[in-house]
C-alpha cells in the first residue's frame, strides 16, 4: 500500500532552543484514518504544521503525496484539505458567500451547495457568519476543507463545539471520505473519537511518539480490570492467589492481561465459596485509560512501565499486593 504521508526523523525547534518535535517517524498509507494524539504540549500541532507545509522542519524529512510540502507547496497544496482549529471568516458574509469566495481560490472546487450539503449546512446558506453557533462554524470549516476534493485531509479537532448528533454525523462523513480513498490525519482531544474513527493512531509526549498502532493494539498493552464488592466478613486475602488484586475495604479491583481466564477463576471461586460479588464490572482497557496512564507517568523518572505477571509470585507475596485502590 502506498504511503501518502511520511515523516522520518522529524525535528522542530523553536527560537530559544525549545524542541517541540524530537525525532519522530511514522507513515500513513492511502485511504487510512490516522489519529495523532498527545498530552498538552506534546508537539502534535507543531507536527501537523510541518505536514501541512506551514513550516520547515529543523531536521528530518516530510513527504506528502511524494513531495516536500514546504518546498514543493504548489505541487501539494491543490491536493490537500486543511481544517484548522479555528477559521477566521468575515462576520458579515453569509455562509454561501463565504464558500463561494473560498471556492474562487480553490483549484477544481466542488459546487458550494454540494460542500454545504455534505456537512449538513445547506439550510443555513443565507445566514451570516456572525449568527452561526460554534458547532455550525466547525461544520463550515469542514466544508471549506472539502471544497477541493482533497486526496489528503488534515483535521485539527474536527468535532470541537459540535453536539452529539453533529459529532456522529461528522464521523460518518469522515468514514465515507476514507472509503472513497481520501487519507485523513486528525488530531482530537475526544478519545472516543479517535477510538471510533482511527484505523491507526500515535500518542505523543514531549515531542516523541511513545506508543502507536491500531486502537486495539494500543489498548491491548494495558491490562483489563475487574471491579466488585465483597460481602461483609469476606476479606480480599481469601481470593485465589493467581488473581492480582488491590483492595480498599470491601471494594476490590483486579488488573489482568487475561480477562477471560481471570474472570472465570473469580466466578468459579465465588460459586465454590458461596460468595456474592456485588457491583461486578469487567471490561477491557479503553483508549482513554491508555492515554491517562501515559499522561500520569509524564513526569515519572522511571519512564513508562507495564504490569508484571502475577504467576511467579509466592503465597507470601500475595498479601503485599493488596493495596489501597487509587
Q: State the CATH number of the domain containing residue 231.
A: 3.30.70
What's the pLDDT at 300? 54
**CB-CB contact of 100 with 147 (8 Å):** no
Q: Are residues 129 and 168 in the same domain?
A: yes
Average pLDDT taken over every residue of the chain: 88
What's the pLDDT at 298? 57
CATH of the domain at 133: 3.40.50.300
Whole domain around residue 253: which residue ranges? 223-321
Tens-place pLDDT, residues 4-15 = 999 999 999 999
Residue 80 has pLDDT above 60, yes or no: yes
Tens-place pLDDT, residues 148-184 = 999 999 999 898 888 899 899 999 999 999 999 999 9
Q: Are residues 170 and 33 in the same domain?
A: yes
Residue 293 inside a domain? The answer is yes
pTM above 0.85, yes or no: no
**Band of pLDDT at residue 305, cut at 50, 70 and 90:** very low
User: Of 159, 184, 219, which one is at a domain's C-terminal end?
Assistant: 219
What's the pLDDT at 94? 95
**Band of pLDDT at residue 318, cut at 50, 70 and 90:** very low
Residue 247 has pLDDT above 60, yes or no: yes
As a whole number of angstroms, the longest Cα–Cα distance in the chain is 76
Residue 259 inside a domain? The answer is yes
Question: How far out from the chain centre does Cα 101 lie?
Answer: 33
Q: Are residues 79 and 26 in the same domain?
A: yes
Residue 299 has pLDDT above 90, yes or no: no
Report the domain count for the chain. Answer: 2
Q: Are residues 169 and 231 in the same domain?
A: no
Residue 326 inside a domain? The answer is no
Instruction: Give the pairing type, strands 183-187 and 33-38.
Output: parallel
Residue 13 inside a domain? The answer is yes
Mean pLDDT of 291-310: 54
Q: Are residues 193 and 313 in the same domain?
A: no
What's the pLDDT at 232? 93
C-alpha span between 50 and 13 (Å, rounded):
12
Mean pLDDT of 180-192: 94
**Proportion of the chain above pLDDT 90, given as a percent:** 73
Residue 297 has pLDDT above 80, yes or no: no
Q: Are residues 192 and 70 in the same domain?
A: yes
Q: Are residues 40 and 133 in the same domain?
A: yes
Q: Are residues 60 and 83 in the same domain?
A: yes
Q: Which long-range contacts (CB under 8 A, 24 or more apart) does 157-166 make?
A: 157/85, 157/187, 157/188, 157/189, 158/83, 158/186, 158/188, 159/188, 159/190, 159/193, 160/85, 160/134, 160/189, 161/133, 161/134, 161/135, 161/137, 162/135, 162/138, 163/135, 166/120, 166/135, 166/138, 166/139
Mean pLDDT of 55-77: 96
Residue 194 has pLDDT above 70, yes or no: yes
Residue 210 inside a domain? The answer is yes
Q: Are residues 205 and 293 in the same domain?
A: no
Please give the residue that has the higher pLDDT: either 206 or 1. Answer: 206
What's the pLDDT at 189? 87
User: Of 219, 247, 269, which one is at a domain's C-terminal end?
Assistant: 219
Mean pLDDT of 133-142: 92
User: Of 190, 219, 248, which one is at a domain's C-terminal end?
Assistant: 219
Q: Are residues 171 and 38 in the same domain?
A: yes
Amino acid at each position: 500500500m502506498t504511503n501518502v504521508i511520511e515523516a522520518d526523523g522529524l525535528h522542530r525547534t523553536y527560537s530559544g532552543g525549545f524542541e517541540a518535535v524530537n525525532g519522530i517517524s511514522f507513515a500513513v498509507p492511502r485511504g487510512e484514518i490516522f489519529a495523532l494524539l498527545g498530552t498538552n504540549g506534546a508537539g502534535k500541532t507543531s507536527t501537523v504544521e510541518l505536514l501541512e507545509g506551514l513550516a520547515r522542519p529543523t531536521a528530518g524529512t516530510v513527504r506528502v503525496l511524494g513531495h516536500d510540502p514546504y518546498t514543493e507547496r504548489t505541487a501539494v497544496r491543490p491536493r490537500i484539505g486543511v481544517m484548522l482549529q479555528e477559521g477566521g471568516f468575515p462576520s458579515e458574509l453569509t455562509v454561501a458567500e463565504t464558500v463561494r469566495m473560498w471556492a474562487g481560490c480553490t483549484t477544481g472546487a466542488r459546487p458550494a451547495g454540494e460542500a454545504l450539503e455534505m456537512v449538513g449546512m445547506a439550510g443555513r446558506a443565507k445566514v451570516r457568519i456572525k449568527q452561526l453557533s460554534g458547532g455550525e462554524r466547525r461544520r463550515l470549516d469542514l466544508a471549506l476543507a472539502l471544497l477541493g476534493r482533497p486526496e489528503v485531509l488534515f483535521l485539527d479537532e474536527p468535532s470541537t463545539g459540535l453536539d452529539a448528533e453533529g459529532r456522529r454525523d461528522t464521523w460518518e462523513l469522515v468514514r465515507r471520505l476514507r472509503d472513497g480513498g481520501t487519507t485523513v490525519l486528525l488530531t482530537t482531544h475526544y478519545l472516543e473519537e479517535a477510538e471510533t474513527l482511527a484505523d491507526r493512531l500515535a500518542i505523543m509526549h514531549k515531542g516523541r511518539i511513545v506508543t502507536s498502532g491500531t486502537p486495539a493494539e494500543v489498548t491491548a498493552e494495558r491490562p483489563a480490570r475487574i471491579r466488585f464488592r465483597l460481602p461483609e466478613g469476606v476479606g480480599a486475602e481469601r481470593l485465589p492467589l493467581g488473581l492480582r488484586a488491590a483492595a480498599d475495604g470491601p471494594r476490590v479491583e483486579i488488573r489482568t492481561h487475561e480477562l477471560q481466564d481471570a474472570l472465570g477463576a473469580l466466578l468459579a471461586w465465588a460459586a465454590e465459596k458461596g460468595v456474592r460479588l456485588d457491583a461486578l464490572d469487567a471490561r477491557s482497557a479503553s483508549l482513554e485509560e491508555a492515554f491517562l496512564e501515559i499522561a500520569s507517568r509524564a513526569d515519572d523518572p522511571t519512564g513508562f512501565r507495564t504490569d508484571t505477571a502475577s504467576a511467579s509470585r509466592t503465597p507470601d507475596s500475595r498479601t503485599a499486593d493488596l493495596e489501597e485502590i487509587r
